[in-house]
Amino acid sequence: MTLADAWNAYMSLLHDRAPATAASIRPPRAIADRTAIADRTAAEAATTPWTAELREFFALHDGQNDSNGPDDYVGTVFPDLTLMSLEEVLYKHKLCRENLHPIDDLGDDWPEVVRTQSAGETAEMFLDFYVPFAEDGAGDFFYVDTRPGDLQGCVRYFAAEAADQGQAAYDSLTDYLTAVRVAVEKGSDLYGLVPTVRDGALIWEFQLPERHDPVPNLVNAVLNLPFTPIDFLPSQVSDADDLIDLNVVKRKVMDTARSMHPGAIVDDAQTVYQRVPRQRGANMNWWVRINGAEAVYTTFVTGDADEVIVVETPLGGYEIVIGEQQ
């Protein structure tokens, strides 16, 4: 399926199911009516070289009209994300480039690391290569990563607080459009948001997971460790101690969460600890939001540089076994 096919199939569904939302989508501007800032060529020149799919995408629409108020709500084309016009793309791109996320704690060589990255990799900040196309109005948005590599043109999520952390949500705009259409067609959730239609407007509502009674006699998982975990008092730890780099540990936690939940939106990892000794067995919990739901990860310091063992805490917890095979 081509991008145009995916777009036309979704538009046909919206006209049938959510006509108010479909009517809010502005048609692409005729070449004779375009101003310099609204021209796709000018927009590309002001941002970054676009992929062919991205050019085709903005040849199919000119964003989405805003609602006039609660009594005239038109909904959103994507899950809680409004389709952006070329002007809005340029404004968001410029705004993000002028308000970069701090990367001082990532080391002096981080900018060089970013320059060697491929599409889909985390830069911890906004890059010229990112082209927004749908936003939530609160600083978060979906964008196309135009950097070279196997995932060039992939769709990713940018959070106001967590920047570009998280792997590619979809390999292409075509895949994303198809996934949204299927969710609307079947009434199934996408990232925890369920599509509903009210007065012809497509509305994406957060749906809490069904609650179940606790499973009796739940058997804990077994965690095999090569050493005994130890507890430490944060109040007794100082900068003068040999401390593990928590930024390195945080990235390891995020990478582990992404590998365990491919395709999920993994938000920023947080811990209450500010200083952790580089002592074998020292452990700490990290909280990570995965597709909007909170998951807990535990890290165990190995004592070797900043290396840690990362474990996602399963339902019912786990039983630690030292030096034995499961």
pLDDT averaged over consecutive 10-residue blocks of the chain (326 residues)? 93 96 89 52 88 94 80 88 94 92 85 93 94 92 96 92 84 94 91 88 75 44 87 72 91 90 82 84 88 86 93 79 64
pTM: 0.64
- Report the alpha-carbon distance of residue 30 to residue 295 in Å, rounded: 48
The closest of 152, 69, 97, 122 to 247, measured between CA atoms, is: 122
State residue 31's pLDDT score: 56
- pLDDT of the residue at 165: 83
Q: Which CATH superfamily is domain 3-206 in?
A: SMI1/KNR4-like (3.40.1580.10)
Confidence at residue 85, expressed as pLDDT on a 0 to 100 scale: 94
Tokens encoding 119:
């599409």
> What's the burial of 246, exposed, middle or buried (CB within 10 Å: 0-12/13-18/19+)?
buried
Domain boundaries defined on the chain:
3-206, 221-322
List Cα–Cα distances, 96 to 45, 161, 166, in angstroms. Answer: 17, 12, 18
Residue 64: Cβ within 10 Å count? 23
Q: Is 53 exposed, middle or buried (0-12, 13-18, 19+ CB in 10 A)?
A: middle
Q: Which residues contact 233 (CB under 8 A, 6 or more apart)?
A: none
By DSSP bridging, strand 318-322 and strand 221-225 are parallel
Centre a 10 Å sphere on the Cβ of residue 176 and count the other Cβ atoms it contains: 21
**Cα–Cα distance list, 113 to 39, 116, 133, 157, 257 (Å):** 33, 5, 26, 21, 22
Assign 3-class secondary structure to 157-168. EEECCCECCCCC
